[in-house]
């Protein structure tokens, strides 16, 4: 292992790290020198592939089955990470779901599921890791530019949950500032992932740079927020969307 890498000796956990932005974040943390645990719900094969990529970077990976809507599963994932690595320095909270539906058609079940995963699950993940992070620890949430630009029919609940995350981060950042822990939120625009595959092409003409983002580009911002360089930034929401929210 190259001891000069930015995150050498650090341990991270990525909630929702089996694919898409989460997997890219896990790979980038590993390439920067961190050992990485990741959670998954429905893609064990993809989680295993991400662990292999972590190991190819010379680091140790750990895949944990855990539903971010389940408070006990979240706690167990943190406990398993601590048991395996002995500490925790970085948490990336990426788990989230998108269930489309306009105000007249959204079911109570879909509403509750999005709130449970996208809002309650984010809070509970932060709560679970915060007790174990050292001075200089890093918490990074993956929100969405829909928190500031909700221009898509049927996205009201999703947008609401992502706006909640942006405000949540501000409050928790204040709570943890005295311990030297930073809490920041990344708000990607349309990015090429499994979640967006059905509608990504229709969105590209709306984006000023005329293309969708790549997961590795979002992971680059994760890397910065996980680094020591970002220590003076906390409570911020950083939009990375090709200019779509301008």
Q: What is the SS3 assignment for 56-96?
A: HCCCCEEEEECCCCCHHHHHHHHHHHHHHHCCCCEEEECCC
Single out the catalytic residue among 152, 158, 224, 232: 158
Exposed (0-12), middle (13-18) or buried (19+): which is 152, by Cβ within 10 Å? middle
In the block, which residue shows the tokens 């822990």? 181
For the question of residue 158 being annotated catalytic, the response is yes
- Kindly report the backbone phi and psi dihedral angles of residue 23, in degrees, each rounded to the nearest multiple of 5, phi listed first: -65, -40
What's residue 1's pLDDT? 44
Query: So what's the pLDDT on residue 71?
Result: 95
User: Are 89 and 133 a contacting pair, CB within 8 Å?
Assistant: yes
Name the residue ranges covered by the structural domains of the chain. 11-240
Q: What is the pLDDT of residue 3?
A: 59
Closest of 120, 125, 163, 157 to residue 144, by C-alpha: 163
CATH architecture classification, 11-240: 3-Layer(aba) Sandwich (3.40)
pLDDT along the chain (246 residues), means of 10: 79 97 98 98 95 98 96 97 98 93 95 96 98 98 94 89 98 98 97 81 92 96 97 98 94
pTM above 0.75, yes or no: yes
- The Cα–Cα gap between 42 and 115 comes to 19
Tell me if 191 sits within 8 A of 21, measured CB to CB.
Answer: yes
Length of the chain measured in residues: 246
């Amino acid at each position: 292992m190259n001891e000069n890498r930015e995150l050498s000796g650090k341990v991270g956990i990525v909630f929702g790290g089996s694919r898409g932005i989460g997997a890219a974040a896990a790979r980038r943390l590993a390439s920067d020198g961190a050992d990485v645990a990741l959670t998954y719900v429905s893609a064990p094969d993809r989680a295993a592939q991400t662990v292999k990529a972590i190991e190819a970077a010379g680091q140790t990976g750990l895949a944990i089955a855990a539903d971010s809507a389940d408070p006990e599963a979240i706690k167990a994932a943190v406990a398993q990470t601590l048991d395996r690595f002995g500490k925790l320095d970085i948490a990336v909270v990426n788990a989230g779901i998108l269930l489309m539906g306009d105000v007249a058609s959204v079911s109570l079940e879909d509403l509750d599921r999005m709130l449970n995963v996208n809002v309650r699950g984010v809070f509970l993940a932060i709560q679970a890791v915060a007790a174990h992070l050292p001075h200089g620890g890093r918490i990074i949430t993956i929100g969405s530019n829909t928190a500031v630009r909700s221009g898509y029919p049927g996205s009201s609940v999703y947008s609401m949950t992502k706006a909640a995350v942006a405000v949540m981060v501000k409050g928790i950042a204040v709570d943890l500032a005295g311990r030297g822990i930073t809490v920041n939120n990344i708000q990607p625009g349309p990015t090429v992932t499994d979640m967006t595959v059905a509608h990504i092409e229709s969105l590209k003409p709306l984006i000023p740079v005329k293309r969708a983002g790549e997961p590795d580009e979002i992971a680059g911002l994760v890397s910065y927020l996980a680094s020591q360089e970002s220590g003076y930034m906390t409570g911020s929401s950083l939009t990375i969307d090709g200019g779509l929210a301008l």
